[in-house]
Structure 1
């Protein structure tokens, strides 16, 4: 029996079998596409070029696929995003530089790369004390600008379409703390200046819980998923040992995720790149329902064992390799990758097909088509 798009996603995220595996392209975290790849895709599909809509993450050179493209692939998910705040919205310094609402300076890298956070307002401090946390301007959590028009946009999606809706929130504690403090500096603080690191992360968590509360008070009853990002791994290992994660980060993740669950029945989706196998049980224990993007070629992230060990406790969103298969494989190899992921991650539900992170500039349009068309052919 055919399901609606929303039914398909909701059932999958409840670990139930569906008529086909649901798909995402630009709805959840880090599933958008580089402008060059998108323009090539439009040409390949015979769709008239359009004014590109900049990706809503703000620090990545990506665009949002148009509704015509999403309809072509029968994508099941649509995004909802917050707007810029009224107080200290993102400020463009020049063509290459801007400062976000957290006071972090970003610069463009090279043309295919995401922008880089190059300086945070606490980065230059040497051995800071707890009081340093109060020395900077913090975002206003209940700033009405963030949710201007949000209820109307999401209500229209809910009333006039059958798509699953994912609310995309800002990053979480670890990522935002390292942007404010500097990545190396934060890692040193976690080991050598625990009092400051804890005070910083406590304030960050207070702020993001407030932002989430403002957003979910508007649309928590209308969305099917609520997503946030907090990268905890690199290609070969997690950033932190399990012990350090449990001591310094997990309490903040648990508080943030608990806040989300208290405000909505939607599933909580956490984006974390890299090898996070060592941390996954603790992340699940925090209340995370769905892991994205399932970087399957990172160490310890082999999809079959992940599904076998954790598939009853967490769902998987992503899994289609963007490092080798999508950019450099043939369309046939992409199709096989999709069939493999449906086989090892999709058994019994609990899987949404998407790329492992945003589709980059070198990905041929034929491979994007193969990724999504194979899902429908696998019914």
Structure 2
């Protein structure tokens, strides 16, 4: 069975020959450059260069022969930066810094830095809605973003047989609001200045709407999965109340996801970390097809319970192994036991795509990664 057929069966809640396996299909199911280098060394694979697929999280662009060896069923498709724009990296004594295309500042420590962290917020000092409305960003519908993308997507489809996942142009629209305004100030806006909060959310949703309308008109007949995201929860509960979500976020999600469905037949994989259990019925209602990363260590995110309550309509894209305590700090046997448990919980009836919870972090031993993979390979077969 080819990868694309296997993935589509799983998304349609049917049992293919085996549970599909993801590594790097999305920017929340990838592997950090350090963990990837360690894995290559462990497997005896020599590479002259490790390219970065996603700069903020420092994710590796996994080589095609490695994807083939690990039987990965997905390939990512990324748009380009608009023609004539590129980030300028600057260094001082402590940090490497840059501003992204939206004007958000990022920094990574020069000595041992693992990720680029938020640094500056362009809307931090804004006091009026007009300042938000008049803030200029590169055109999300600039067609130069798709230069060569359709041809590359077709090549991947023809040569790998994999399911293709199209990445968005920005982080989630709520997440973008945090980043543009600053977390604390945006939370204050939601309560004390809803006009400002709505203006910022309108801005960040517009970026996405314009991009998806343009991208899917070009790529909608090739792409199998559209990847969207927004982090609504922490380890122990929601970041915003259900009432706030339903007032400010849910109507915009409905509009955004309806636009995606209108312009393609793609499934929507939606990423939200943490304890999102309380919002899962809402997420199903607004049109998501798959939930990632299924953070099994967060409150109320037990895989058996999730499968029982939502498994008939929702695909679980993740949850294959706990990455906070087991994949990084456990023994290989503990990893194997965890993987078997999650497959038992999530695989029956389809609707499960195996990948760890979020990205593989730098401290994951390659022995543990391969213990996970070998257990999936042995135990993830339907027949």
TM-score by length of 1: 0.95
Contact 1:121/1:136 (8 A) holds in 2: no
Partner of 2:162 in structure 1? 163
Provide the rounded CA distance (Å) in 2 between the counterparts of 1:139 and 1:302: 42
Deviation at 1:194, TM superposition (A): 0.5
Provide the rounded CA distance (Å) in 2 between the counterparts of 1:60 and 1:83: 18
Partner of 2:77 in structure 1? 80
- Cα distance, 1:112–1:89 mapped onto 2, change above 3 Å: closer
**2:36 is the counterpart of 1:38:** yes
- Aligned-residue Cα RMSD (Å) equals 1.5
Aligned-partner SS, 1:248:
helix
Partner of 1:50 in structure 2? 48
Provide the rounded CA distance (Å) in 2 between the counterparts of 1:291 and 1:111: 33
TM-score by length of 2: 0.94
- Cα distance, 1:318–1:112 mapped onto 2, change above 3 Å: farther
Contact 1:172/1:253 (8 A) holds in 2: no
Aligned-partner SS, 1:328:
coil
Partner of 1:205 in structure 2? 205
Partner of 2:59 in structure 1? 62
Partner of 1:132 in structure 2? 131
Q: Which moved more, 1:269-278 or 1:106-115?
A: 106-115
Partner of 1:89 in structure 2? 86
Deviation at 1:87, TM superposition (A): 5.3
Deviation at 1:308, TM superposition (A): 1.0
Contact 2:122/2:180 (8 A) holds in 1: yes
Aligned-partner SS, 1:157:
helix
Partner of 1:377 in structure 2? 378
Provide the rounded CA distance (Å) in 1 between the counterparts of 2:308 and 2:322: 20
Contact 1:29/1:229 (8 A) holds in 2: no
Contact 1:93/1:99 (8 A) holds in 2: no
Contact 2:133/2:203 (8 A) holds in 1: no
| Structure 2 unpaired stretches of 5+ | none
Aligned-partner SS, 2:166:
strand
Q: Which moved more, 1:212-221 or 1:235-244?
A: 212-221
Provide the rounded CA distance (Å) in 2 between the counterparts of 1:228 and 1:197: 21
Provide the rounded CA distance (Å) in 1 between the counterparts of 2:369 and 2:12: 27
Provide the rounded CA distance (Å) in 2 between the counterparts of 1:166 and 1:49: 25
Contact 1:53/1:64 (8 A) holds in 2: yes
Contact 1:233/1:274 (8 A) holds in 2: yes
Aligned-partner SS, 1:327:
coil
Contact 1:177/1:204 (8 A) holds in 2: yes
Provide the rounded CA distance (Å) in 2 between the counterparts of 1:339 and 1:162: 27
Provide the rounded CA distance (Å) in 2 between the counterparts of 1:135 and 1:119: 19
Deviation at 1:163, TM superposition (A): 0.8
Contact 1:29/1:292 (8 A) holds in 2: no
Partner of 2:124 in structure 1? 123
Contact 2:271/2:291 (8 A) holds in 1: yes
Partner of 1:192 in structure 2? 192
Deviation at 1:367, TM superposition (A): 1.1
Partner of 2:347 in structure 1? 346
